[in-house]
Structure 1
Amino acid sequence: MTYATQQDLIDRYGEDRLIALTDRAETPTGAFDTALIARVLADTDALIDGYLMARYALPLAVVPPQLRPLAEVLGYYDLHLYEPDEKAKADHKLALDSLKDIAKGIIQLEVGGAEPDVNDAGGVTTTDRDRPFTASNLKSFI
């Protein structure tokens, strides 16, 4: 499932900025590399799915509105070949924190569908070892 498109990145960051980040040809072409953008957005989708699968059944029927901006920020950060600026770093950290909160259930997504089955391993655990204190070895204390 695609959470953001190339057009979403253009709308958010501008065509000139994307050209500057993706035109990596030896002789600049003045156009953005659509294959690079598609690969980065696919990697971003996989990252988001990794966080979502902890709480939601995938693929989602509809893309929740909270995910598109997160995918845009993560994709934009990954397009940087060299060190991104401070704003891009801060936005990237905030997006990852939001994904962690979604995985923990702190942020709820409005999606139709069931949450994945949760393992009920939180019950009582017992052991079969011998009891250290029995009626026979406590006779002298009573």
Structure 2
Amino acid sequence: MSYATQPDLVARFGLQELIEQTDRVNAAVIDAAVVDRELAYASAVIDGYLAARYVLPLPTVPDLLVGLCCDLVRYALYTDAAPDIVRDRYKAAVASLRDISNGAIKLDAATPSAASSGLVEMVGSERLFSRAVR
């Protein structure tokens, strides 16, 4: 499941930036293969953080995750040194994913996994002794 799309990236960062960072030959069009590869990788990273707390796949993609995915992809598209703003947004996205994984940030549309409930379940054998007379 991809958390963002190429149009999401264009809407957030502009067509020209995506062309410059993906079409390394002509700088004329967006290389969709490069974008798709990075979207898949960023979505896999997000799944890794979410799996600790939520049942996947999510029923709907929260806007927060769309933005975080876009920030991860944007950073990955810079093969040379990324500008400070891109690096800062990447670090903030990773920090937000950690917070989601730890439960500091809650995703409303997601179903918590059984492992993330924080409750302890005890299972034991049947009783050996009781007050009942047999």
TM-score greater than 0.5 by the shorter chain: yes
Once residues 92 and 110 of structure 2 are traced to their aligned partners in structure 1, the CA distance between those partners, rounded to angstroms, is 26
Q: Would you say the 8 A contact 2:5–2:39 is kept in 1?
A: yes
Equivalent residue letter for 1:22: T
Moved over 4 A (4+): 119-123
CA-atom RMSD in angstroms: 1.9
Matched, 1:4 2:7: no
Deviation at 1:29, TM superposition (A): 5.2
Equivalent residue letter for 1:110: D
Number of residues paired by the alignment?
120
Q: Which one of 92, 102, 105 corresponds to residue 103 of structure 2? A: 105
Once residues 13 and 121 of structure 1 are traced to their aligned partners in structure 2, the CA distance between those partners, rounded to angstroms, is 42
SS in 1 for 2:57: coil
Matches within 5 A, 1:35-114: 35-113=33-111
Cα deviation code 1:35-84 (max 9, x no counterpart): 00000000000000000000000001111121111011111001111110
Q: Tell me the percent identity.
A: 39
Once residues 121 and 29 of structure 1 are traced to their aligned partners in structure 2, the CA distance between those partners, rounded to angstroms, is 54
Once residues 65 and 31 of structure 1 are traced to their aligned partners in structure 2, the CA distance between those partners, rounded to angstroms, is 27
What is the TM-score with the length of structure 1 in the denominator?
A: 0.79
What is the TM-score with the length of structure 2 in the denominator?
A: 0.83
Q: Which runs of 5+ in 2 are unaligned?
A: 122-134
Aligned to 1:137: none
Q: Which runs of 5+ in 1 are unaligned?
A: 124-142
Aligned to 1:32: 30
